[in-house]
Structure 1
Amino acid sequence: MINERIQKLRNLMKEKGIDAYYIPTSDFHNSEYVSDYFKARAYMSGFKGSAGFLLITQKEACLWTDARYFIIAANAIKGSEFKLMKMNEPGVPTLDEYIKMNLNENDTLGFDGRVVTATQFKHFKESFKLNFKCDEDLVGMIWEDRPALSDKKAFFMEEQYSGKKTSEKLEDIRKVMKEHHADVHVVSTLDDLAWIFNMRGDDVHSCPVVLSYGVIFMDKAALFIDEKKCDEGMKKNFEECHVELYPYNDVYEYLKKLDKNHRVMVNEAVINSYLLECIPCEIVNVPNPSTMMKAIKNKVEIENTKWAHIMDGVAVTKFMIWLKDEIKKREISELEVSEKLLSFREEWADLIEPSFDTIAGYGPNGASMHYTATKDSYAMCRAKDFLLVDSGGTYKQGTTDITRTFMLGETCEAFKEDYTTVLRSHIALAKAKFLYGCSGPSLDGICREPFWERGMDFKHGTGHGVGHVLNVHEGPNNFYWNPSRGLCVFEEGMITTDEPGYYVEGSHGIRIENELLCVKDIKNEYGQFMRFESLTLCPYDLDPVLKNMLTNSERLWLNNYHREVFEKLSPYMNSYELEKLKEYTREI
C-alpha cells in the first residue's frame, strides 16, 4: 500500500513537473503534534512518530528522523521502498546534502507552502539553484478518505486558572510591537493563540489547542476560527477585548488586503511560507513575544500546576502500588499498563485528557525512546527486569509529564548500575544551583556528568519546557548540550523537565523524569543565584538503587524529596496505600 502511494505521488509529480517532493510533519501552524487531517507524512510512509520528514524523487523515497525513533521508524517502513536516514549519524546525508547530490540545477522542488515555515523556504532558496513549486498539496490530491478538520468544541480559560486576562496579555504584546515600530502582529502558532486569547480546545490529540490564526492591531484583533467551536465565555471575552471573528480559512485573503503602509511583526521561524507571502507590507521578523510570556508562569498558574502535580502524583503512586502487587500474581500487557494508569488519573474530575500517549515499554521495548504499544504489537510484562512508563495528564489546573522506570522482579547488577546512573544524573540537575544567565547548554553538562564519568550518554535532550494546560512540549527553555537548540536564559517561573535516560537496543531502557520549576535562590556580591523546585510528586523505585554508587549529597536530596512526597500525597491514600507509600519513600 505504501509503495502504491509513492507511485501515485510520483505520477502526479511528473504531471506537475516536480522532480522532488518534500513532506514535513507539520500542519499550517508549525505544530509539533498535528491533527489527523495533517498527517501526510504518516499517510505516505506509515511512520507515525512526532518528528521526521520525507523527500520523494522519481528514483528514491527517503525518511529522515532522529535517534528517538530509529527503531520505530525502521519497523514502520519495513517492506516499503522507503530508506531510513538516521539523522546525525556518521555517513548519513542531511536533507541539504541529499538534495545537492541528487537534484540538478533548475530541477523543481515541490511542497505545500502552508506546512513549510518561511525560514525553511528562505533556506531552500538561498541554498539551492532550483525552481520551487509550493502552491499545491499533492498528498491531499491522492489521499483517499482524508480525515476532516476537527469540529470539536473549545472552552474559555477562566482567570482563576489562567491568572491573567486576555486584555492584559494583548496590552503586553502591543508594548513589544511598539518597541519594534510595528502596528500589526500576525500569530499562527496554536499554543500562542490559546494562551493569548485564554481559550483551550481539542483540535489536536493530547494538545488542548484550537485551530486558528490571529492578527493583532493596536486597537483591536482579528481571530480566524470556526465560530461554532466557541463557548459563551470565549465569545464574551472576545467582545470585551475587541476581537473580531472570521472563518478559519479566510486569513489568507484577509492578509492580502492589509494596507501596505502597515509594518507587520511576525516570526518567520514559525509562520508558514504561504501565509507570509500573502502579507503586502514591510515585515519585522522577531520571535513571538507571547512565546516567552507564556513560558514564564504567573503565580496563579504555578499554584494551579502544583495542585495538578498532587493529583497526578496520587494517580501514578496508586498505579505503582497496583503494578508492584499485580506483577507478582500474573503477566500484564503493556496495553493494560496504559489503561490502568489512565483509570487512576480519571479518578480526578479535573482531568481533561492525557497530555500525550503513554509510553509503556517493557524490557527491550523500553529502549525505543518513543515506543507505543498497539493492539497488534505489544509485550507482556513479567516479574523480571524493567518497565519504563512515560506519561502525563492535562488537568484544569496544569499539565504534567512524568517518567518512572519500575523494577518488576529479579534483574542483573549491570541493569541496577544503569538505573542508579540515570537516577544520579536526574538528581544532579534537580539540585543544581546556578547564577542567573545560564541556559540549557550551561546546565545540561551537570546532568550528563554521571554518564560521562562512565563513558556513557543518551541521544536526546535532557528536558523541555511544559505548557500550562497546553502542549506538553513548549519552548524556548530546554536542557541540551548543543546550543543549536537555543540559548534561552532560565527565568523565574519557567517549568522544564529533567529526564535523563539510558537505552540498550534489544535489552532495556531506563528514564526518570520530573518537572522542575525555576526559582530564585540567594543573591550576593556574585549575583543572583537560581535553583529548581521539583513539582512532580511520586516515589522513585528504590528497589534497583545501588546505594554505594550514591554520594552523601545525592542520598540527602533523595531522602528529602521522598519525605516531601509522603507529606503531600499521604492525605489522599487509604490505609493500605499509606503503608506502601511509607515503603516506597523509605530513607536510604
Structure 2
Amino acid sequence: MFQSFDDTSSPTQGPPRLKALRGALEAAELAGFIVPRADAHQGEYVAPCDDRLAWLTGFTGSAGFAVALTDQAGVFIDGRYREQVKSQIDLDHFTPVNWPETKLADWVIERLEDGARLAFDPWLHTVEEIRKLSKKLQEHGIELAHRDNLVDRIWTGRPPRPNAPMRPYPYEYAGQSHDEKRMALAKELKKAGHSAVVLTLPDSICWLLNIRGSDIPRNPQVQAFAILHDTGAVDLFTDAAVSPEAAAHLGPDVTLHPYGRLLEHFETLHGKVRIDPSSAPLKIEAHLQAQNASRDDAAEPVDGKDPCILPKARKNAAELAGTTEAHLRDAAAMCEFLAWLDSEAPQGALTEIDVVRKLEGFRRATNALQDISFDTICGAGPNGAIVHYRVTEKTNAMVQPGQLLLVDSGGQYLDGTTDITRTIAVGAAGPEERAAFTRVLQGMIAISRIRWPKGLAGRDLDALARAPLWMAGQDYDHGTGHGVGVFLSVHEGPQRLSRLSEVPLEEGMILSNEPGYYRPGAFGIRTENLVYVAKAPAIEGGDDRAHLAFETLTLVPIDLGLVDAAILSPGERAWLNSYHAETLNKIAPRVSADTQDWLKRATRTI
C-alpha cells in the first residue's frame, strides 16, 4: 500500500516546539523566524526531513508558512486549507492567517518595531520572494537577517536526507534524448550571452536528463542541483545512488558531484551565470554575488528563466501518446472502482480508508502503477468540504447513505501521470447538492468546450469555470487548473487556469480542469478531468488567426444522479452525452463484464 493512514502530526506537538524556537530566537537576539513549507528546491512536495512547518505547528498541508515571533505565531494558509488548519494546530499558540489576502509584510509590520530583526533561512526562500519582502520591511526599519535554520537546531530525531537510486527514463516515453535537450538549451544560453544556468528544480533536471527517482513521496524525482553550460555539458549535484546503467545513460557530458558541493563549484564558473529568481534559493544568488565582489574573474549572477520550464510543459508527440494511454488505463481502473463503490457504498458499511484501499488496489491491478500521484483525498459528507483532506485512522469516517463522497486521486505510470476527481452521491442526493453539483459541472464543461485565440493565458479562461457559481452567489477558493507532468509532478508549472496566471497557454500543455464548491460542515463537490492544449480546427467563416482548444484526457463517467438536466443548456447536455459516449466506447473493452454493465448505465443519454 503506497498510502499510509498514520496520524503524522498533532496539535499538541506545537507548543513545546514553539517554546524551544523562541529560546533560540532570544539567544540570537532576533524578533522572529519564518518557517516555510519548502526545501532548497522550492517544490510543492518535500521530504520528511524538510517538512519543518508540519514538525513545528502540526499543519500538514502542501502549501503555507509560519512566522514565529517572541509573543505570537501565525500560520499562513490559502483557501484550500482554511478548514484543515483549524483541526491540526493548537489555536491557543498559533493563529491561522488567511493568505494571500493578508500579506506577510503587512502582518509583520503591524507587529514588529523599527530596528527589529526577522530571520530566515536563505536556502528556503526564493530570490524574488526575499527581494519583495525585504524592500517592504526596510521601509519600516525592519531587517531581514540571513541565518542557519533555527528549526534544525532544535529538531531532534530529524529524518535523514533521501538518496534513492536514480533511474534512466526510457526514450520511448521521453520522445527526445537528453543530448538533444541539452544542446537545444545550450544554444539558447549562448544566444542570451550566458555561460551557464544553475538549475534548482528537480523536475527540470529530471526532464532535461531523462532520469527519474523516488526521493520525494509521490513524485518520481531525484533531489539534485545542476549547472547547464553553454557547451551542453552538465554538472549534476546529487547523493542519489547511480547504477552503472544510470551512469552509462548520463554519458561523458554529465559530471556527477556530491549534493553538498554546489556552492564550492561556483568557484570554477566565469561569465554571466543565469539563475531564475522565481525558483532559485536566495543562498545561491548571495554566494555568487559575494564571490563576484571578491574576485575579478568570478561569475556574475544574472536573472533569467529556467530554460527547462516551457519545453517541459509543451509535451511532445511521444509524451502525449503515452499520457493518453496512461489515462485510458487509469480510467479502466477508476471504472472498476466506481462500479464496486456503486454496489457497496449504499449498504453503509464502508469507511473512507476502505474506499482508499480499494481504489489503490484497482490501480495496482493494472500491473503498471509505479506510485500514486498524491495521497488520495477521500472525503465523506463534511470531510469533502476540506479541500485537501487526508484520511487518517483518527479521522476515518463512515461513508453513509445520503452523503456525497468526494474522491480525488491519481496514479504515476511510466507513460503518464493522472489526476481525477469524482463526486458521488451515496444513495439519493438532495436538491441543494444536485444544484451545486450541476453548476460545478457547467463550469467544467465551459472550460472543456472553449476555443480561444492563441496567446491567451489561464487568467483569461478561469472565469468561465466560475460563472455558473457566481450567478448563484457562490465560488471556490482554489485555482481552476494546474499543470501536470509526464511521470513527474502532478502539479507542474508554469501553466495554470487561475485568475493570477499570466502564462500563455501553448500546444502540448497538460492542465487539470477542476472547479468545485464546498459547504463547510456539510459537503464538498469537485469534478476534475485532465486536458491538453491542441490546435483548434478551423471554422467555416472564421478569420485566419490561430485558435487553440482543449482535448480531454480523462474518460470516466460523471455521476448522473447528481445532474439536474433541467439546468443544463442544450449545448452542455450535448457535450455531456458525447463525453459519456466516448467513455463507453473507449473504456468498455478494458473492463470486466460486470463493470461493462455498470458503465452502460453510468453513461446513459440524458
Q: Please give the TM-score of this superposition, normalised by the length of structure 2.
A: 0.93
Q: Aligned to 1:520, which of 531, 535, 540?
A: 535
Q: Aligned to 2:509, which of 484, 494, 502?
A: 494
Q: How many residues align?
A: 578
Give the match for residue 58 of structure 1. Answer: 70
Give the match for residue 148 of structure 1. Answer: 160
What CA distance in whole angstroms lies between the structure 1 residues aligned with 2:456 and 2:145?
Answer: 43
Q: How does 1:188-337 map to 2 (within 5 A)?
A: 188-219=200-231, 220-227=233-240, 229-240=241-252, 242-255=253-266, 257-259=267-269, 261-279=270-288, 280=292, 281-337=299-355
The amino acid that maps onto 1:365 is: N
Give the match for residue 526 of structure 2. Answer: 511
Following superposition, the deviation at residue 205 of structure 1 comes to 1.0
Give the match for residue 182 of structure 1. Answer: 194
What CA distance in whole angstroms lies between the structure 1 residues aligned with 2:370 and 2:564?
Answer: 38
For the 8 Å contact 1:156–1:231, the answer to whether it is kept is no
Q: Aligned to 1:394, which of 408, 412, 431?
A: 412
Give the match for residue 427 of structure 2. Answer: 409
What CA distance in whole angstroms lies between the structure 1 residues aligned with 2:100 and 2:143?
Answer: 28
Following superposition, the deviation at residue 112 of structure 1 comes to 1.2
For the 8 Å contact 1:121–1:273, the answer to whether it is kept is yes
Q: What do the CA deviations read for 1:231-288 (whole angstroms, capped 9, x no partner)?
A: 3332112224x01100001111111x134x4110110111111122222322221111
Q: Secondary structure at the match of 2:115?
A: coil
Give the match for residue 10 of structure 2. Answer: none
For the 8 Å contact 1:224–1:251, the answer to whether it is kept is yes
What CA distance in whole angstroms lies between the structure 2 residues aligned with 1:103 and 1:179?
Answer: 47
What CA distance in whole angstroms lies between the structure 2 residues aligned with 1:289 and 1:508?
Answer: 42
Following superposition, the deviation at residue 153 of structure 1 comes to 1.7
The amino acid that maps onto 2:512 is: T
Give the match for residue 473 of structure 1. Answer: 491
- Establish whether residue 569 from structure 1 lines up as the match of residue 587 from structure 2: yes
Q: Secondary structure at the match of 1:289?
A: coil
For the 8 Å contact 1:52–1:65, the answer to whether it is kept is yes
Q: What do the CA deviations read for 1:63-92 (whole angstroms, capped 9, x no partner)?
A: 010110011101111355001112245xxx
What CA distance in whole angstroms lies between the structure 1 residues aligned with 2:40 and 2:380?
Answer: 36
What CA distance in whole angstroms lies between the structure 1 residues aligned with 2:144 and 2:581?
Answer: 60
Give the match for residue 459 of structure 2. Answer: 441
What CA distance in whole angstroms lies between the structure 2 residues aligned with 1:547 and 1:12?
Answer: 61
The unaligned stretches of length 5 or more in structure 2 are 1-12, 293-298
For the 8 Å contact 2:42–2:125, the answer to whether it is kept is yes
- Runs of 4+ aligned structure 1 residues displaced above 6 Å come to none
Q: Aligned to 2:107, which of 91, 98, 102?
A: 98
For the 8 Å contact 2:194–2:230, the answer to whether it is kept is no
For the 8 Å contact 2:429–2:561, the answer to whether it is kept is no
What CA distance in whole angstroms lies between the structure 2 residues aligned with 1:442 and 1:87?
Answer: 23
What CA distance in whole angstroms lies between the structure 2 residues aligned with 1:239 and 1:574?
Answer: 45
Q: Please give the TM-score of this superposition, normalised by the length of structure 1.
A: 0.96
Q: Secondary structure at the match of 1:380?
A: coil
For the 8 Å contact 2:350–2:399, the answer to whether it is kept is yes
What CA distance in whole angstroms lies between the structure 2 residues aligned with 1:446 and 1:102?
Answer: 40
Q: Aligned to 2:378, which of 350, 360, 380?
A: 360
Q: RMSD of the TM alignment (CA)?
A: 1.3
Q: Aligned to 1:110, which of 113, 116, 119?
A: 119
What CA distance in whole angstroms lies between the structure 2 residues aligned with 1:68 and 1:127?
Answer: 27
What CA distance in whole angstroms lies between the structure 2 residues aligned with 1:87 and 1:269?
Answer: 19
For the 8 Å contact 1:401–1:515, the answer to whether it is kept is yes
Q: Aligned to 2:401, which of 383, 386, 391?
A: 383
> Aligned pair in 2 of structure 1 residues 118, 88: CA closer, same or farther (>3 Å)?
closer
What CA distance in whole angstroms lies between the structure 2 residues aligned with 1:424 and 1:505?
Answer: 22
Q: Secondary structure at the match of 1:458?
A: coil
For the 8 Å contact 2:348–2:398, the answer to whether it is kept is no
What CA distance in whole angstroms lies between the structure 1 residues aligned with 2:543 and 2:244?
Answer: 53
Give the match for residue 453 of structure 1. Answer: 471
For the 8 Å contact 1:180–1:284, the answer to whether it is kept is no
Percentage of matched positions with identical amino acids: 32
Following superposition, the deviation at residue 199 of structure 1 comes to 0.8
Give the match for residue 45 of structure 1. Answer: 57
Q: Secondary structure at the match of 1:106?
A: coil
> Aligned pair in 2 of structure 1 residues 463, 183: CA closer, same or farther (>3 Å)?
same
Q: Secondary structure at the match of 2:530?
A: strand
What CA distance in whole angstroms lies between the structure 2 residues aligned with 1:362 and 1:59?
Answer: 38
